[in-house]
Structure formats: C-alpha cells, structure tokens
C-alpha cells in the first residue's frame, strides 16, 4: 500500500506530495479554491478552473500543473488522475497509482447533483482518504430541491412583507449554487462585491448564471441580497431595514443554528456529503483501508470498523490512533515521533495519562470506562495515583486546595501563539474551525514543539509555578515554555485541565467508582471520604491503604454543601416526603435569598467559605471579628439585612467580588446576617453522621453573636401545613421553603432525597454563559446579550436553553464585557463564544419545548436576576431539572 503520513495535512512521502496542507509546502495537490485549501506552495497540482479561481484569491508565482479531469499525469514515478468531486466548480479528487497500489483522496466532495459544479466521478482504490465533515448519523440532508423550495419561499414571503431577504452563503460555490436556483425562480438577486467577483469568473463556465447585480445601497427593493457569512452584523447589514436574514449551511441541522449564526432562519444547504452519502461513497470505492479527515473523523472511522472496514482517523485530535490502533502493516506513519506516546510508557508518565484519556473518550460504555481507569490506577505509585485522580476530574488542584491558577483564555491564546511562533492571523484561522480550546491547542502545537518525557509530578509542578507566577505576562511566558516541551496531544490535555474540563465523558462519580474497584473498597465509603476531605487524590490513597473510615470533617477545610431536590409545588414535595423520608414529621424553614456559606471558627481564627469552597472572609470581615464561645463549623446563608429597610440579594451583590481590604470600603452600606441552619462540627467533634434533629438541638443551644442567628424551624406532619408554610414564606418575601428529614445525616455535595426545596412558582435557574453579543443603541459598544446553557446530567454536556439581556446595571454590563472579551474562544459575526465560567441566576415565566436550543427547551421571558459569583459551572441547573419544571419527562 501507499504510505501515508499526517502533519497538518495528509502527506505521501514516496511522492513527496502533500494533499491540501495547512502550511506552505514544496509540492501540494489543491483539491479546490476555498480559502482554507489554497496556499503559497512551490509546486501545485490542480484543475484549470481551480487555478483561475485561486489566482483571483491568492495572487503569486508558483509552478502549476493544470490537469484536465480523467487524464493520467506522470509524477515522480506515479500516475496522477483528477476526478470531479462535485463540491464546487473545479473541485477534484486525486487518484494516485504507484508501484501496483492505488490511493484515492476525496478532498471535499458530495454525491448529490449540483447546479454550479461538475457531477462527481469515482474509481475504486486500495486506500481511501476521505473528508468526514458530517460524519455522524444525525446529519442527513433533506433533498436539495426541498431546501431550495424553502429558501425561495422565505425570500418571496420576506419581499411580500416589504423587507429585504438577506442570504448568507460562502462567496465561492454555495453562492453560485443558490444564484442558479433563484434565477430559475425569477427572483432578482443582488450580490455582495466579494460574491460578485467570484460569480463573474463562474459565469464563463456556467451560463445558467445569467441574471445578477452588484450591490448598491438604493437597489435592494424587491431583491434578494446574497452575502458571505462574515458580513453578518456589520454596519452594511445593520443599515438595511427592514430585513430578514438566513444562513445557508449544513450545520443548520443542529438545534439552535439560526440563533447561533444570529439569523432569522437557517437552511441545511451544503456542498459536502451528508452521512448516508459518506457511507455510500465508501461502498462505491470498496477500499481495503479508509483514512478519515476533518469533522467527525474518529467517530466515522469507528462506524466503518463496525461495518467491517479497516478505518482510522488522521490528524486533528486523533493522532493517538497512529500509535496504538493501526496494524503495523498498514503503512501509516505518524508525522511526530511517539516514543513518549506509547501505552507501555513508564508508570506515572503524563503520556500514559493522556492516552488513557483518549481511550476512555472513545469508549461508550460506563463499565468499560471504569475497567480502563481502575486498571490504570492500580498500576500507579502513590504520588502519581494522587495526582492522576485530581487531573481526571479536570482540575489542577483538589477542591480542598484553595489555590487558583488565574489562567484564562487570553493567557492560553498568547502562550499557544508564542509556542508555535504563529502570526495572529494564522492562529485565528486555526481557531475559527473549532469551538474547543483543546482542539485549537492540538492543531496549533502539532509539529511545533520539542517534546520530552514528563511524569504527572512534572505537570503538577507546571501548575504550581503558574499559580505562583505574578501577572499575565509572566504566566504566558511560563505556559509557553512548558508547552514547548510537550507533544501536541499532551499539551492539549494541559489546556483541558487549565480550562477545567477534560471533555472525555468522565464524570466525577465514575472516578469514585474506579477508585473503589481499583482498591477493592466500598463505593459508599469512597464517596463519603471524598465528600468530607474534598480531595479525590487523598481519597484514592486512603482507599488503597484501607483508611477511608478515618476521614473526618475538620476546621478550615470546607466541604461541599449538602443540596436539596427542587419541587414545584407543596403537593409534589409532600409526595416525595412520604416516599423518601425516614420519619413522618418534617422540618420546614424559609429558603433565604442570599449566598450559601460555611463559617469555620477556631480558637484564634475565623474564616468564611462560599459554596464553591472559596475563602470569602475579606468580603465579610464583620463575621470574622466576632467573639465565639466554641470551635464550630456552621452551614448557613449570608443575607442582606437591615431592621429599618427590606434588603434583597441585589443589595448583597454589592458586597460580592470585592478584592479590596476591609479598610477600603464601608460594610455598613449593606449590613448582613449569617443565618445558620446546620451545625457540622462542635468542639472538634464531627456531627455530619448524626441525625439532623440532634444537630439542630445542639445549634439552638449555642450562644451565638448577634450577627449570627439560628434560622427559625418548625416541625409539621400534615400536607396542608406544608402548603400553609409555603404561602407564609411567600408572603414574607422569602425565596421559598426548605423541607428536611429530621433523621437525615449531612451529605456534603450530594443532592439526596432528604432535603427538598420548594421555590416560588416564578422559578429561577442557575445557568452558565456560553456566548455574548453586543447590544443596540447605547449598548452597541458592550456585550449585553447573553446566551446561556444548563448541563445535561447524563452526558455532562452544556446545552443552550435561552438568551437574556435585561436585569443588569450598566456597571455590571461593563464589568462582564471586560470579562468576556478576555475569555473569548472565537467570534462568529457579532457572536462571541466564551469560556463557560460565569454563572447567572435567571428568572422566567415558564419553560416550553423548543427546537431553537440544543436542550430542546426555551425559557419564556427570561431576565437576569443575579450574577452568581458564589457558584461555579459545576453547580448550575440541569436539563433534567428544567424538563421537570416544564412538566416534561426528565429523560426527554
């Protein structure tokens, strides 16, 4: 077979020929003239049409071999033949015949007939290298005629309503496809200048493109305006009123596509093959070996293997398949030496860790993931066992470790650019193809580093140096130096940990189960030890030593708060009480509208911790200066309180996030109370395993300072009493009602059935912002419109559920604008895709099913109630909870 290598493009070393490479190369085949496929190569093989289109887009001098379709061309001992690809006009596949073997490179292609491209032609080949942009079964395009009909209907109805229909499609290929269809429908079409230039070249080959006009501001009435996608949101588009916009892309099949592209409509018109045509293409070629590129390369290769084909993914984040999956006789050579990438590495090596993560990400079954992870944990020395478990949860430090890296996307981006020695424009080109920081890192670092062996302890040292470094310049330099010593795969996992998400389908609970299996320890004991210690690495070490039962809650090591299950009504809450509680009577207390906090009091020290375990003592110094008579840990709520005026969470927000010392601001502007509702430790004795009735009795017996009060509680046993208590809480302007089992133990971090929260009917959700865009009018210069998501508890994936732009002050919007600009992953028109690290509490009237968002739900009349700086993205609401509030089945 013909040898294939990959380094930012497929490479045939026997011919010294690159296939659509990312970087400038001595000799390259260019499949078509889209900007992401052309380059200033020394010698190029391409069609006549592609050469002319490329000259218009990328002027320059190069040696060109302009080949006709289906005519063999001798090249370095081989025969090269170009075959029509059906993608755009002039696009070609490359058939290579060498020493009795054959290889077909598809480039971008489609099997469906188009109105502005040559129909595809194929030949059998031993090796097939194919693009798999839409390589998942969900991507099935409707018939092109149907899509064109919907686009035409959209245009006609918009014109009839007196507005201008604006269609966004690539200026080369898709624009001409749409233009040919609209010409047949006798719709007048006006072209953006960039589309106009490409269309003039096209017209010399496709005479169907007979009627089109270049844009003039006074010439849009009754016309369709055809533009490239990047002009959406510009002043040109904003100046056209009234208007309706539509994006033309295969990604329109994804829920919420119109919203993501900031358009009124989205139509699935694509010049790529959909999933059924990808499968059919392989069946037509009948190769012995398939190598997949782009999009869902790994997933499609796995699919082909299940169908009986030998298939492997090339490039992007799939480099691992070179080293551990492909048979030795397949003649596929990795472009980067993988001596530090083999699974046989020294135990405790970071390369072994990243390859384990890759294998876990490819595994779909829970039991298989646990088996892989347990076997790996058993092999590790103690120091590496501790670190591996922490890293597997996507963290650099354990929850109990108060250190924070303070490394955002801005630092990561600059470090990647420095490491790879890239121009800003080149980095933007790479980043524009991905919405994932790790994939951006992989593509940026591939072939640009000088890797050496690293143990897990070396990686921990990198994180410790980053944490102690002062200022973004120092952190950027340190991170760049570190990345330079890592492989692209290992570097991408460092970035995953820095951004707090491995994204391999491994939830914290699976790590706990794997520890239990690896150490032959009871799972409940592992979970309890982890909850109490806040350190999953320490938990793994204790499990190995058989010392899990020695774990206790201790002062100044905060634990995750015990959580409650939400219920929408008193009736639903009481039904759960009858089913889950150990006793007939229940405790009820008001749900306060503040921030959850733990108060840790020692003999000469007092600290306050937020629900995400941050030390917030400096924000509430009045609580740390009080005299206390016992060592204790209190769980409670900090609320804004003034006997002379009613204060709310909005007032309390003014106290949050302050980094100044206590002498630089006046705490009297927003006085507070600590409402204690649980006692976790008293005079060095842990109470978390004691029943709530005892904990409450001890709490009520304490003599507490005036600013620390015990929350009022009542014991009830009848359903009507619960409803009455709920209505009383609402009249008192409380956020809701808490219902607790008197016999319940305190379970840190768990949302068991022992506590229930009953909130007002106008509910709220805690969501994380995943995107922002600039507003209008006086807010046109700030990011004031926020797209947010909830988490799917089954998959861990963030899924969009709405967008809100009201509820914040101008000062808060300015602050968030600065934050999001520093943490932007990429921009699509006016839309900023941001690192999901900021939590909002969003109120709404109702939740309704909707295909507009990936969650399948939409909030009705959402408005921002609060910025929840006290919460992390791991504490946001779930899709399943939102579905339950909407009265739908949690499983969808």
**Domain end marker among 459, 474, 498:** 498
| pLDDT for 121 beyond 60 | yes
- What's the pLDDT at 451? 87
DSSP state of 508: H
C-alpha–C-alpha distance, residues 607 and 595, integer Å: 15
Beta strand residue intervals within 372-426, DSSP E: none
More confident position, 578 or 225: 225
C-alpha–C-alpha distance, residues 242 and 223, integer Å: 13
What pTM value is reported for the model?
0.54
Same-domain status, 605 and 683: yes
> Which band of pLDDT confidence, cut at 50, 70 and 90, is reported for residue 762?
low
Same-domain status, 165 and 282: no
C-alpha–C-alpha distance, residues 194 and 214, integer Å: 9
Query: Is 313 contained in some domain?
Result: yes
CA quadruple 675, 677, 681, 685: dihedral sign: positive
**Known catalytic residue: 241?**
no
Query: Is 892 contained in some domain?
Result: no
| pLDDT for 665 beyond 60 | no
Same-domain status, 629 and 772: no
| pLDDT for 663 beyond 80 | no
- What's the pLDDT at 664? 39
671-689 residue pLDDT tens: 999 999 999 999 989 999 9
CA 832 vs CA 783, 787, 820, 836, 840: distances in Å: 9, 10, 8, 12, 17
Q: Are 200 and 165 in contact (CB under 8 A)?
A: no
| 142's tokens | 């409707």
- What's the pLDDT at 26? 93
Number of domains in the chain: 5
The position carrying tokens 């478990």 is 389
Instruction: Print the domain residue range for 878.
Output: 764-885
> Which band of pLDDT confidence, cut at 50, 70 and 90, is reported for residue 328?
very low
Same-domain status, 155 and 129: no
Pairing, β 289-293 against β 43-47: unpaired
Furthest-apart CA atoms within the chain: distance in Å: 94
Spatial neighbors of 840 by CB under 8 A, at least 6 apart, are 766, 767, 768, 769, 786, 788, 804, 864, 865, 866, 867, 868
Same-domain status, 134 and 173: no
Q: Which of 591, 757, 791, 865 is catalytic?
A: 591
Query: Is 339 contained in some domain?
Result: no
Query: Is 527 contained in some domain?
Result: no
Q: Find the mean pLDDT for residues 341-368.
A: 75
Is the peptide bond between 316 and the residue preceding it cis, with omega within 30 degrees of 0? Answer: no
| pLDDT for 384 beyond 80 | yes
DSSP state of 566: E
775-823 residue pLDDT tens: 765 676 788 899 999 999 888 889 999 998 888 887 788 889 989 988 8
DSSP state of 599: E
| CATH code assigned at 698 | 3.30.470.30
430-471 residue pLDDT tens: 776 665 788 889 889 988 888 888 999 999 999 999 999 988
Q: Are 91 and 50 in contact (CB under 8 A)?
A: yes
Torsion of CA 203, 206, 210, 211, to 10 degrees: -70
DSSP 43-104: EEEEEHHHHHHHHHHS----EEEEE-BT--EEETTEEEEEEE-SSSTT-EEEEEEETTEEEE
Same-domain status, 793 and 743: no
| pLDDT for 345 beyond 70 | no
| pLDDT for 543 beyond 90 | yes
| pLDDT for 114 beyond 70 | yes
| CATH code assigned at 234 | 3.40.50.10890
Burial label, 800 (beta-carbon count in 10 A; 0-12, 13-18, 19+): buried
Spatial neighbors of 45 by CB under 8 A, at least 6 apart, are 17, 27, 28, 29, 30, 65, 67, 73, 75, 80, 82, 94
| CATH code assigned at 474 | 1.10.3260.10
Burial label, 617 (beta-carbon count in 10 A; 0-12, 13-18, 19+): middle
Most confident of the ranges 223-227, 405-409, 752-756:
223-227
Decide: helix, strand or coil at residue 313: strand
Burial label, 26 (beta-carbon count in 10 A; 0-12, 13-18, 19+): exposed
Of 87-96, 234-243, 693-702, 750-759, which gets the smallest average pLDDT?
A: 750-759
Same-domain status, 184 and 250: yes
| pLDDT for 381 beyond 70 | yes
**Domain end marker among 241, 266, 291:** 266
Same-domain status, 779 and 747: no
Spatial neighbors of 181 by CB under 8 A, at least 6 apart, are 115, 148, 151, 152
Query: Is 216 contained in some domain?
Result: yes
Same-domain status, 290 and 259: no
Q: Are 245 and 266 in contact (CB under 8 A)?
A: no
Same-domain status, 843 and 732: no
Query: Is 702 contained in some domain?
Result: yes
CA quadruple 666, 653, 760, 738: dihedral sign: negative
Query: Is 399 contained in some domain?
Result: yes
Same-domain status, 717 and 857: no
Q: Are 692 and 744 in contact (CB under 8 A)?
A: yes
Query: Is 340 contained in some domain?
Result: no
| CATH code assigned at 816 | 2.40.50.140
234-292 residue pLDDT tens: 888 888 989 999 999 998 888 777 877 888 899 999 999 999 999 999 999 999 999 99
**Domain end marker among 717, 733, 759:** 759
Spatial neighbors of 714 by CB under 8 A, at least 6 apart, are 587, 588, 589, 725
C-alpha–C-alpha distance, residues 341 and 352, integer Å: 7
Q: How many other CB atoms sit within 10 Å of the CB of residue 752?
A: 14
- Kindly state the helix (H) or strand (E) to which residue 477 belongs, with its residue range: helix 472-483
How confident is the prediction for the chain on average, in pLDDT?
A: 86
From 777, 802, 804, select the one nearest 789 (Cα to Cα): 802
Same-domain status, 747 and 769: no
């Amino acid at each position: 077979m013909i040898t294939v290598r990959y380094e930012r493009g497929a490479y045939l070393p026997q011919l010294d020929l690159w296939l659509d490479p990312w970087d400038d190369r001595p000799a390259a085949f260019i499949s078509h003239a889209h900007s992401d496929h052309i380059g200033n190569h020394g010698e190029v093989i391409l069609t006549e049409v592609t050469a002319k289109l490329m000259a218009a887009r990328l002027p320059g001098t190069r040696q060109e071999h302009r080949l006709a379709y289906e005519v063999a061309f001798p090249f370095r001992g081989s025969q090269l033949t170009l075959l029509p690809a059906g993608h755009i006009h002039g696009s070609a596949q490359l058939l290579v015949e060498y020493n009795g073997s054959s290889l077909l490179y598809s480039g971008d292609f489609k099997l469906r007939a188009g109105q502005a491209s040559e129909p595809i032609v194929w030949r059998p080949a031993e090796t097939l290298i194919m693009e798999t942009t839409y390589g998942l079964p969900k991507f099935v395009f409707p018939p092109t005629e149907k899509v064109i009909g919907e686009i035409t209907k959209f245009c006609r109805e918009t014109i009839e309503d007196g507005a201008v229909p604006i269609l966004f499609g690539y200026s080369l290929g898709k624009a001409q496809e749409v233009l040919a269809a609209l010409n047949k429908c006798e719709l007048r079409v006006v072209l953006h200048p960039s589309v106009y230039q490409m269309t003039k070249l096209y017209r010399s080959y496709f005479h169907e493109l007979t009627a089109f006009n270049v844009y003039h501001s006074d010439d849009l009435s009754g016309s369709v305006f055809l533009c490239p996608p990047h002009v959406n949101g510009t002043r040109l588009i904003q100046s056209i009123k009234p208007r309706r916009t539509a994006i033309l892309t295969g990604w329109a099949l994804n829920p919420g596509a119109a919203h993501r592209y900031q358009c009124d409509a989205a139509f699935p018109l694509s010049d790529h093959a959909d999933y059924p045509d990808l499968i059919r293409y392989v069946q037509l070629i009948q190769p012995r070996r398939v190598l997949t590129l782009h999009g869902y390369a790994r997933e499609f290769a796995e699919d082909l293997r299940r169908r009986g084909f030998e298939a492997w993914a090339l490039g992007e984040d799939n480099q691992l398949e070179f080293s551990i999956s492909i048979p030795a006789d397949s003649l596929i050579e990795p472009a980067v030496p993988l001596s530090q990438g083999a699974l046989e590495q020294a135990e405790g090596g970071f390369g072994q860790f990243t390859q384990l993560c890759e294998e876990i990400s490819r595994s779909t079954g829970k039991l298989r993931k646990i088996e892989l992870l347990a076997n790996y944990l058993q092999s590790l020395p103690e120091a590496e066992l501790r670190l591996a478990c922490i890293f597997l949860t996507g963290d650099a430090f354990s929850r109990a470790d108060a250190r924070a890296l303070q490394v955002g996307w801005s630092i990561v981006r600059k470090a990647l650019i420095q490491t790879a020695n890239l121009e800003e424009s080149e980095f933007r080109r790479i980043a524009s193809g991905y919405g994932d920081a790790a994939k951006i890192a992989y593509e940026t670092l591939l072939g640009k580093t000088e890797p050496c062996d690293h143990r897990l302890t070396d990686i921990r040292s990198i994180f410790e140096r980053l944490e102690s470094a002062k200022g973004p310049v120092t952190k950027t330099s340190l991170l760049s130096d570190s990345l330079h010593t890592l492989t692209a795969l290992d570097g991408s996992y460092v970035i995953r940990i820095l951004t707090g998400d491995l994204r391999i389908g491994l939830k914290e609970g699976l790590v706990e189960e794997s520890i239990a299996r690896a150490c032959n320890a009871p799972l409940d004991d592992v979970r309890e030890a982890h909850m109490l210690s806040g350190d999953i690495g320490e938990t793994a070490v204790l499990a190995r030593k058989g010392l899990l039962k020695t774990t206790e809650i201790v002062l100044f090591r905060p634990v995750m708060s015990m959580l409650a299950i939400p219920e929408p009504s008193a009736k639903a809450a009481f039904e759960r009480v009858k089913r889950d509680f150990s006793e007939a009577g229940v405790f009820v207390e008001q749900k306060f509208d503040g921030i959850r906090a733990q108060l840790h009091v020692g003999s000469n020290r007092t600290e306050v911790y937020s629900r995400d375990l941050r030390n917030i003592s400096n924000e509430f110094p009045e609580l740390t200066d009080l005299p206390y008579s016992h060592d204790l840990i209190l769980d409670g709520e900090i609320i804004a309180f003034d006997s002379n005026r009613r204060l709310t969470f909005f007032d309390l927000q003014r106290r949050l996030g302050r980094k100044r010392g206590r002498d630089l601001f006046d705490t009297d502007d927003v006085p507070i109370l600590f409402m204690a509702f649980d006692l976790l430790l008293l005079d060095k004795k842990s109470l978390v395993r004691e029943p709530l009735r005892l904990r409450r009795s001890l709490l009520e017996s304490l003599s507490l300072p005036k600013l620390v009060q015990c929350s009022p509680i009542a014991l009830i046993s009848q359903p009507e009493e619960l409803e009455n208590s709920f209505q009383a809480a609402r009249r008192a302007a409380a956020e809701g009602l808490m219902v607790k089992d008197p016999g319940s133990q305190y379970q840190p971090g768990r949302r068991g059935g022992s506590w229930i929260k009953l909130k007002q009917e106008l509910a709220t959700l805690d969501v994380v912002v995943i995107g922002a865009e600039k507003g209008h009018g006086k807010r046109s210069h700030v990011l004031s419109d926020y797209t947010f998501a909830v988490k799917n508890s089954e998959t861990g994936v963030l899924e969009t559920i709405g967008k809100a732009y009201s509820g914040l002050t101008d000062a808060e919007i300015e602050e968030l604008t600065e934050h999001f600009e520093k943490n932007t992953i990429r921009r699509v028109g006016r839309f900023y895709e941001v690192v999901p690290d900021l939590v909002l509490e969003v109120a709404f009237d109702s939740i309704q099913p909707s295909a507009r968002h990936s969650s399948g739900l939409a909030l009705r009349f959402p408005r921002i109630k609060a910025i929840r700086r006290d919460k992390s993205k791991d504490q946001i609401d779930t899709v399943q909870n939102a579905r339950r509030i909407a009265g739908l089945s949690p499983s969808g």
